[in-house]
Structure 1
Amino acid sequence: MVCPVAAGYVQPMRRVDDPFTLALPITEVLPELVAALQRDGMAVLQAPPGAGKTTMVPVALWEAGMAEAGRILMLEPRRLAARGAAEQLARNLSTQLGEGVGYRMRGEAKVSRATRIEVVTEGILTRMIQSDPELAGVSTVIFDEFHERSLQADLGLALVLEAREALRPDLKLLVMSATLDAAPVADLMGEAPVITSEGRSFPVEEHWADAPLPAGTRIEGPLSDLVLRALAETDGDMLVFLPGEGEIRRTVAALEPRLPKGAYTAPLYGAMPFSEQRKAIELSLGSPDHRRKIVLATSIAETSLTIPGIRTVVDAGRARRARFDPGTGMSRLLTEPVSRAEATQRAGRAGRVEAGRVYRLWTKGGHGALPAFPPAEIEAADLTGLALELALWGGGEGLRFLTPPPEGAMTTARDLLAGLGALDREGRITEHGKTLAALPVHPRLGHMLALAGPSAAPLAALLEERDPLRNAGTDLARRLKLLQNPGLAPEAARGALKRIAAETRRLSRLAGPTSDLTAAQALALAYPDRIGLRRPGDAPRFLLSGGRGAQMAAEDDLAGQRLIVVADIEGEGRDARIRLALPISESELRATPGVAPAWHDLAEWSKRERRVVARQQERLGALVLDDRNWKDAPEEALSAAALDGIRDLGLPLTDRARRLLARVALMPDLPDCSESALLAEAEDWLLPYLGKIRTAADIAALDITDALKARIGWEGMQALDRATPPSFTTPLGRTIPIDYSGEAPEISLRLQEMFGQTNHPTVAGKPLRVTLLSPGGRPVQTTMDIPGFWASSYADVRKDMRGRYPKHPWPEDPTVADPTLRAKPRK
């Protein structure tokens, strides 16, 4: 069958007559899929791993003529998958790689003007559409393995959907997924049709662990035992799933001495050289020596790669995921249990061509407790790059995400970008931000490259790559030296150092102008929140400028340094451990643009000392590099600190102040004098009255009544005095305060002082509650009817009080007696 070709490309392209390829399950739904795309312009294809969607769908679209209007662009989540898919497509179409079929990824491309199917890693699409929102020259965009829910795939789909609506209604869009529920994706795309391929799989016999592993057990030993058992009970090649490179290396070391004759191990993880990865995915069955291959892989082998010959899967049940903590602004890799969906995908690898077996390192009972699906990367990742891309796009409002980015992580990301100068105060992208968006590294490292220049490229390349020297201390300088002299490096590190060197050369060409900044200064540009100051004491603990604490081993080369810049850290709280860092001197730090510490005049309330403390400090974030007494601190700064002390301790309320506030509470037209309102506005009414207030004792002795009166104002006080007089004049002419805090205004005075009072006292037309006291000051009677008291209860009170207080007058008729506070005169 001759495929349609673009103008300028004359070589006909034909599919290979491959019975296995032609028999793939996906072929049954290809006509329906092509018709849906031609009719609706969009579709969602749901097909299990191994159905053939990656290698068959682009060919079908080519044959249907969709490549005539422009390239077919297919996105893959990983570099190995992109290259492998491109190679297989080229074989299927009998063309040289880089001609009709090509690929593009960061730092590497094999395409030409004749390329009609281009396989790219997901980040490449973002760069393409940011540079050209119309995607000129592209007819179709295919998102492969969308169920992996990478951050770049989610962003790419959102951008393509908006570009399609606004600029390219003719652009065809296909989302392909193995296990993801297709309905939400179809709804996001505007009710796109869903095409389902049932796939083809053979039964997979499940074997479970008898008991769960004890907490804290390293998996390499039990997993090696399980692999050897599976080897003894099965035939064919084996795929073993582990969470990361470290576990793979340790398991290989544990297995090698115990393997039976004819079996060999083949590690497979993302950081491996491509040539080594190819050894793991090449078919070994049928080879002359009939050796059995044991592929030890990360999740890279779950869906996006097909490894021929696999009959058995051994699953450790762990996955490594990046988790971002908005509170610390740091990402860390966590090893977590797999989800049930991931376990199902892994097991399915054993049933591609015939019945197989899966051996799991967890119990059948524990399987039900696993989460149903893994989290989308957008839910748990560092969103700094996403926030920068959205700002470059124009803000991102209205973009449709399958999972909206968490607001907390987005706020943290935007704050970091603003600190790097990538966003302005309104959150719009700056020219510096556009520079960072164009660099193929994290915005932190892009900021470093833009300001420090080509000399920072080795550092950026090192930090983008996994650490080539595991368990070799924290000093990044050692890695930089080995990068210059790779022959001195351990054999196991030389492959990584070769990749880092190649990336260094590429980043050097993209970096900003040459500068004289040191490596430590360059690193401080990238991580201004991770400048570490050693805490006092023998243990090497550091306080970071962002406020977090961290530690390193006592024997580490950097343990004695006063100042460091931390590039990598893991763990939380007191257990956070520094993994990579560089020492930095105070002079270097002070000379680093945009990061240098600054002097701050600081008058503040010390909760510990319960007093105002005035200091002058050289600070960088949470770090205090120098601290001195502020001898000539102005009074207004000290008073403001004393005000913070009042907020800490609470308003000091004397009896006078309490009575005044009780009166104001009865007057709705006066200013709000609730405690919350008073504290919120304390700068306006209380600050001028703090004068020499400096300590908790000063605050306790402070009478704020005059300040309250000033807040109320002269007219307010006049109205208050008319409506709620502050005092009552007794028959003796003595003035006593009225308490308005109860249900009725109240006064308290000695009973003898009311002799001769024949009318009940009132205030503002309302009766006062009168508490009559004994000569000893104890309540005798509370009444709101003095005449009634004289006529009724007084006789009983007189009878009781005469015995207790015989020296004081107790007349039979108090209405005609003279008020007094004196005892009876001596005879």
Structure 2
Amino acid sequence: MILPSFPIQVLLPQIRSSLAAHPRLVLEAPPGAGKTTQVPLALLDEAWLDGRRIVMLEPRRVAARAAAGFMAGQLNQAVGETVGYRIRFDNKVTARTRIEVVTEGILTRMIQDDPMLEGVGAILFDEFHERHLSADLGLALALDVQSQLREDLRIVAMSATLDGEKLARFLDAPRLSSEGRSYPVEIAHFPARRDEPLELQTRRAIEHALQQHPGDVLVFLPGQREIARVQAALQPPPPPRQGRVWEGQIVVLPLHGELPVEKQAEVLQPDPHGHRRVVLATNVAESSVTLPGVRVVIDAGLAREPRYDPNSGFSRLEVVSISRASADQRAGRAGRVAEGWAYRLWPQSQRLEPQRRPEMAQVELASLALELAAWGSDALRFVDPPPAGALAAARDLLQRLGGLGLSGAITPLGKRMLALGTHPRLAAMLLSAPNGEDRALACDLAALIEARDPLRSGGDALTARWRALAAFRSGRAPGDANRSGLAAIDTAARQWRRRLRTDATPPADIEAHRLGDLLMHAFPDRIAHQHPADPRRYQLANGRMARLFDDSAVFGEPWLVASELRHEAKDALIQRAAPVDEAALRRQFGDRFVSEDAVRWDAGKRALVAQRESRFDQIVLESKPAGRVDPERAAVALTDAVRELGLSALSWSEPLQQWLERVRSLREWMPELELPDLSEDALLATLDDWLLPAFSGKTRLDALDEDTLSHAVKSSLEWSLRQRIDQLAPTRITVPSGMERRIEYAHGQSPVLAVKLQELFGLADTPRIADGRVPLTLHLLSPGGRPLQVTQDLRGFWERTYPEVKKEMKGRYPKHPWPDDPWTAQATHRAKPRGT
């Protein structure tokens, strides 16, 4: 095996020796160092590998194919022999394959299906700095396998821009760094003109680069849509093929993850005719993929990254500003073969985030929650743990979908959902189809939901989009449809049919409710019923309200399921929906239709009302007065009322409010006390623990008196701890005059003691609380109660400020003592005796 020269080569002996001695490694190497393609090959013959496979997680499909192809080429083999890849809907792996490059959730599936990882000796996480959710989960699972089952498993985290020291501490692993192969890059900001679209600014930058600099030009754009617009700006006539020679010498080529494999391969090779190239790329070209001949980088500073979209219930790709680390990495692409130039299309004054935020913190977590349930443990070690609120919401959704039971354990349906490798909402829908034709229809729906809207005219009817797809298949797509968009949706639907192993074809026409009857399995929380008093308003199964567009195509339907909502201050706006057949709803979700007595809070009456209700989930279908309020149900209803109205609905006494401020302050000042979190958010989140029992037997909010509320709030603290709070953060303090004066507390601020100046004569230093850790802020008052000075330095006040105060106050308050020496004077809260 002959390896080309890469900077990483000098580090390969250290990598091999490190992994021979230690099962984990953090490897930092800039783009172009060769880590992606040289490290796996260098480890193939290691004794600890013992002929087993190396699995490398690569975040992007383009990079996965390219890396596998490059390594296979170095071995003079075809992809699928020693080196292969597995990506969504594509697999080039054989029994002979020893290096597998995998993407997305494929590594997770491998570990879930075989926790012993039989036949796998090492897992490499390439470009870990991109912090994809699949990489974070894969690393957490691999660490669990390594600690519990496979001490011999090697784990390597590789990255170009990474806080390697932090990750090495987390992994308890050695850290190695490689030099890159780069030349100086001159960076400049290329300003936009007033109201100039991105594609025109980009065209000007490309023209400037081609005129001023040699070599190929790499342009970073956020997505396919922007690539198409820049292509159109560069090439007004439609190009006869993928790349068109521009002005006779320049070839313009796109590069993104949806390109066919052969087109990707064309971009990754030099032009066969020696033409200069302009490559319009998404961030697939940011790392792992090497483009020959690039001397100039033009960077829009944007990327499409997943963000949770509450409108759709999914994580969607949104255009966001890149991080500073990504900007530096992109610019470095211009210096791989010689000195280069980088033009940034954002103002120099714009500040970028230092590093990319983990997907874990900003996406919807239903898939993660299902994976954790399948693994059977939440005790995984994540570099950044999943946010508790998002994880709880994900589990609630999974219970509605049938993927989790009430105990939180995964169900048989949940296991089948997981095996499909898509969002649990879509998986639940795909698995709900009772026959071949319905399964084919569900595949159409999954493809439609995952894709961009193929209709230019908009509208809220999902049926119109499916009918446009059906018309496209028959060769008569409607005029307002995007034909390329429909073609992509048709391809995705075929791929889903292959995944489900169904030979059935979708119907040529359908009744509108057939889509809704399938879709309700993906969005059980968004099944909606028409409001009896307002036909444009709908109540959702999750209890919220939504409304239709004025020109809605589904107006008048008694039941709907909404696949997309726009959340607004009052009612959500239904942006995409399909009608639902009530008979099908009762067949599929019969257990959610219930009739029972309910007690609810009536905000208008500010009282509880008892009603006999017929409901579907949280949708009230019929309601009648039920007479007397049941006390057992009343406590729950009153607690829910406080949840809705806020804690201000309760009767908080001033002493109880001060007690809370004292506890919150002490929790910050003395963490070793391990005081509970009694912030407003925490109290609201735990109402069922402390407030619900206090409402027992009560049917009105104002029936909860101050003493009962105080006892309820303090119930989580043992008596000894409450006494300790009184000692460390007292409500009053005795001052030298012999009087007790009150201390005022406010969390986040120093406690305040307001006291007349004469009462502190003879006191040298500022009083302190919390075992002497916290000085009081003294509000020194005149005999008339007006503030003279605010200080935490009483000694300094006596030394520097008191003489001036005495001079001013002596004439205004002659009946009160103003001694020359406050250190030895008698403290008093009274005026001077008569005759003195």
Q: Distance in 2 between matches of 1:282 and 1:575?
A: 54
Matches of residues 294-373 of structure 1 in structure 2 within 5 Å? 294-324=278-308, 331-366=315-350, 369-373=351-355
- Judged with a 3 Å threshold, the aligned counterparts in structure 2 of structure 1 residues 571 and 206 are, in CA distance, closer, same or farther, namely farther
- Judged with a 3 Å threshold, the aligned counterparts in structure 2 of structure 1 residues 528 and 390 are, in CA distance, closer, same or farther, namely same
SS in 1 for 2:517: helix
Please report how far the alpha carbon of residue 554 of structure 1 lies from its aligned counterpart in structure 2 after TM superposition: 4.7
Please report how far the alpha carbon of residue 618 of structure 1 lies from its aligned counterpart in structure 2 after TM superposition: 4.6
Q: Distance in 2 between matches of 1:201 and 1:338?
A: 22
Q: Distance in 1 between matches of 2:16 and 2:136?
A: 24
Please report how far the alpha carbon of residue 189 of structure 1 lies from its aligned counterpart in structure 2 after TM superposition: 2.1
Matches of residues 626-637 of structure 1 in structure 2 within 5 Å? 626-630=621-625, 633-634=627-628, 636=630
Alpha-carbon displacement from aligned partner over 1:506-528 (angstroms, at most 9, x marks no partner): 2322899x9x9933122111111
% of aligned pairs identical? 41
* Contact 1:534–1:563 under 8 Å retained in 2: yes
SS in 2 for 1:195: strand
Structure 2 unpaired stretches of 5+: 238-245, 652-686, 706-836
SS in 2 for 1:112: coil
Alpha-carbon displacement from aligned partner over 1:126-165 (angstroms, at most 9, x marks no partner): 1111111111111221111111111111111111112112
SS in 2 for 1:518: helix
1:521 aligns with 2:505: no
Please report how far the alpha carbon of residue 114 of structure 1 lies from its aligned counterpart in structure 2 after TM superposition: 1.2
- Judged with a 3 Å threshold, the aligned counterparts in structure 2 of structure 1 residues 316 and 139 are, in CA distance, closer, same or farther, namely same
Aligned residue number for residue 489 of structure 2: 497
1:405 aligns with 2:390: no
1:475 aligns with 2:457: no
1:232 aligns with 2:211: yes
* Contact 1:236–1:310 under 8 Å retained in 2: yes
Superposition TM-score, scaled by structure 1 size: 0.69
Aligned residue number for residue 600 of structure 2: 604
Aligned residue number for residue 110 of structure 1: 92
Aligned residue number for residue 406 of structure 2: 425
Q: Distance in 2 between matches of 1:224 and 1:360?
A: 13
Alpha-carbon displacement from aligned partner over 1:193-245 (angstroms, at most 9, x marks no partner): 2121111111111111447977xx75334333333333333333222222223
Aligned residue number for residue 425 of structure 2: 444
Aligned residue number for residue 443 of structure 2: 458
- Judged with a 3 Å threshold, the aligned counterparts in structure 2 of structure 1 residues 35 and 460 are, in CA distance, closer, same or farther, namely farther
- Judged with a 3 Å threshold, the aligned counterparts in structure 2 of structure 1 residues 581 and 140 are, in CA distance, closer, same or farther, namely same
SS in 2 for 1:526: coil
Q: Distance in 2 between matches of 1:559 and 1:280?
A: 49
- Judged with a 3 Å threshold, the aligned counterparts in structure 2 of structure 1 residues 679 and 582 are, in CA distance, closer, same or farther, namely closer
- Judged with a 3 Å threshold, the aligned counterparts in structure 2 of structure 1 residues 586 and 207 are, in CA distance, closer, same or farther, namely same
* Contact 2:221–2:299 under 8 Å retained in 1: yes
- Judged with a 3 Å threshold, the aligned counterparts in structure 2 of structure 1 residues 594 and 639 are, in CA distance, closer, same or farther, namely closer
Aligned residue number for residue 709 of structure 1: none
Please report how far the alpha carbon of residue 392 of structure 1 lies from its aligned counterpart in structure 2 after TM superposition: 1.2
SS in 2 for 1:43: strand
Q: Distance in 2 between matches of 1:277 and 1:433?
A: 36
Alpha-carbon displacement from aligned partner over 1:436-465 (angstroms, at most 9, x marks no partner): 222211112222223324524414541574
- Judged with a 3 Å threshold, the aligned counterparts in structure 2 of structure 1 residues 475 and 226 are, in CA distance, closer, same or farther, namely farther
Please report how far the alpha carbon of residue 498 of structure 1 lies from its aligned counterpart in structure 2 after TM superposition: 4.4
- Judged with a 3 Å threshold, the aligned counterparts in structure 2 of structure 1 residues 642 and 354 are, in CA distance, closer, same or farther, namely closer
Amino acid at match of 1:492: S
205, 209, 218: which one aligns with 2:186: 205
Amino acid at match of 2:497: R
1:38 aligns with 2:34: no
Greater Cα shift, 575-584 or 150-159: 575-584
Aligned residue number for residue 790 of structure 1: none
Aligned residue number for residue 662 of structure 2: none
Aligned residue number for residue 224 of structure 2: 245
Q: Distance in 1 between matches of 2:344 and 2:532?
A: 49
* Contact 2:400–2:524 under 8 Å retained in 1: no
Please report how far the alpha carbon of residue 534 of structure 1 lies from its aligned counterpart in structure 2 after TM superposition: 6.1
SS in 2 for 1:364: coil
1:387 aligns with 2:387: no
* Contact 1:209–1:362 under 8 Å retained in 2: yes
* Contact 2:58–2:101 under 8 Å retained in 1: yes
Alpha-carbon displacement from aligned partner over 1:243-279 (angstroms, at most 9, x marks no partner): 2232223333333239645334323333343344344
- Judged with a 3 Å threshold, the aligned counterparts in structure 2 of structure 1 residues 138 and 603 are, in CA distance, closer, same or farther, namely closer
Q: Distance in 1 between matches of 2:633 and 2:81?
A: 77
* Contact 2:55–2:102 under 8 Å retained in 1: yes
Q: Distance in 2 between matches of 1:569 and 1:82?
A: 35
80, 88, 95: which one aligns with 2:62: 80
244, 250, 256: which one aligns with 2:235: 256
- Judged with a 3 Å threshold, the aligned counterparts in structure 2 of structure 1 residues 70 and 678 are, in CA distance, closer, same or farther, namely closer
Aligned residue number for residue 121 of structure 1: 103
- Judged with a 3 Å threshold, the aligned counterparts in structure 2 of structure 1 residues 211 and 588 are, in CA distance, closer, same or farther, namely same
Please report how far the alpha carbon of residue 421 of structure 1 lies from its aligned counterpart in structure 2 after TM superposition: 2.6
Please report how far the alpha carbon of residue 683 of structure 1 lies from its aligned counterpart in structure 2 after TM superposition: 5.8
* Contact 1:266–1:279 under 8 Å retained in 2: no
Alpha-carbon displacement from aligned partner over 1:723-770 (angstroms, at most 9, x marks no partner): xxxxxxxxxxxxxxxxxxxxxxxxxxxxxxxxxxxxxxxxxxxxxxxx
412, 418, 434: which one aligns with 2:415: 434
* Contact 1:616–1:628 under 8 Å retained in 2: yes
Q: Find the structure with the greater CA-based Rg.
A: 1
Please report how far the alpha carbon of residue 609 of structure 1 lies from its aligned counterpart in structure 2 after TM superposition: 4.4
Amino acid at match of 2:525: D
Alpha-carbon displacement from aligned partner over 1:679-734 (angstroms, at most 9, x marks no partner): 966765555xx9xxxxx9xx9xx999xxxxxxxxxxxxxxxxxxxxxxxxxxxxxx
Alpha-carbon displacement from aligned partner over 1:372-424 (angstroms, at most 9, x marks no partner): 01101111111111111111111131x21111111111111111122223223
Q: Distance in 2 between matches of 1:298 and 1:94?
A: 30
- Judged with a 3 Å threshold, the aligned counterparts in structure 2 of structure 1 residues 312 and 535 are, in CA distance, closer, same or farther, namely farther
Aligned residue number for residue 565 of structure 1: 561
Please report how far the alpha carbon of residue 320 of structure 1 lies from its aligned counterpart in structure 2 after TM superposition: 2.3
Please report how far the alpha carbon of residue 550 of structure 1 lies from its aligned counterpart in structure 2 after TM superposition: 5.9
* Contact 1:450–1:511 under 8 Å retained in 2: no
Matches of residues 816-827 of structure 1 in structure 2 within 5 Å? none
Indicate the RMSD between aligned Cα atoms, in angstroms: 4.0
Aligned residue number for residue 178 of structure 1: 160
- Judged with a 3 Å threshold, the aligned counterparts in structure 2 of structure 1 residues 219 and 589 are, in CA distance, closer, same or farther, namely farther
Q: Distance in 2 between matches of 1:568 and 1:462?
A: 15
- Judged with a 3 Å threshold, the aligned counterparts in structure 2 of structure 1 residues 589 and 52 are, in CA distance, closer, same or farther, namely same
* Contact 2:297–2:342 under 8 Å retained in 1: yes
Q: Distance in 2 between matches of 1:465 and 1:250?
A: 22
Please report how far the alpha carbon of residue 282 of structure 1 lies from its aligned counterpart in structure 2 after TM superposition: 3.4
Q: Distance in 2 between matches of 1:318 and 1:213?
A: 19
